[in-house]
Amino acid sequence: MAGSILVRASSDGTATTVQALIHHPMDSGFVKDATGKLIPAHYIQVVEFAHSGSVVLTAFWGGAVSKDPFTKFSFKGGKSGDDLSISWVDNLGNKDSTTAKIS
């Protein structure tokens, strides 16, 4: 189910900029649905970004991160063709991961 993660990673020779969008409801547990019932909390807790096997960013998220969360950051190094992997796990234990090539 690698379909939840959209990632664009581009290298300018010295640094790699990563933009990632993950499809996820990110329900905080405080929102009520149309019938007034609370929608149970369902949000991503940990996201790991790794370049060629070593972690470049670890994100811890609460329910206050927006639906379909977007993250942008950059790290030194990384060249065109390198692997960039992203994996997440949510509070219900669901997981997904993907590996993209840096362009």
Partner 1 sequence: MQNTKTTVRIKSGPALTRRITLSGAAAATLAALLAPGFKAAHADTAAPMADASAYPAKAFAQKSKDEAIAALFNMTATASDQITFDAPDIAENGAVVPVSISTTLPGVTAIAVLALGNPFTLAAAYQLPDGTNAAISSRIKLAKTTDVVALVQAGGKLYSVTKNVKVTLGGCGG
* Residues binding partner 1 (CB under 8 A): 15, 26, 28, 30-32, 45-48, 50, 52-67, 69-77, 83, 85, 87-89, 93, 95, 97, 99
Q: How far is the CB of 68 from partner 1 (least distance, A)?
A: 9
Contact 65, 43 (CB under 8 A): yes
- Beta-bridge mates of residue 86: 49, 98
Helix (H) or strand (E) holding 69: none
Using CA of residue 71, residue 49, residue 18, residue 4, what is the dihedral sign?
negative
Q: How far is the CB of 95 from partner 1 (least distance, A)?
A: 7
Q: How far is the CB of 7 from partner 1 (least distance, A)?
A: 13
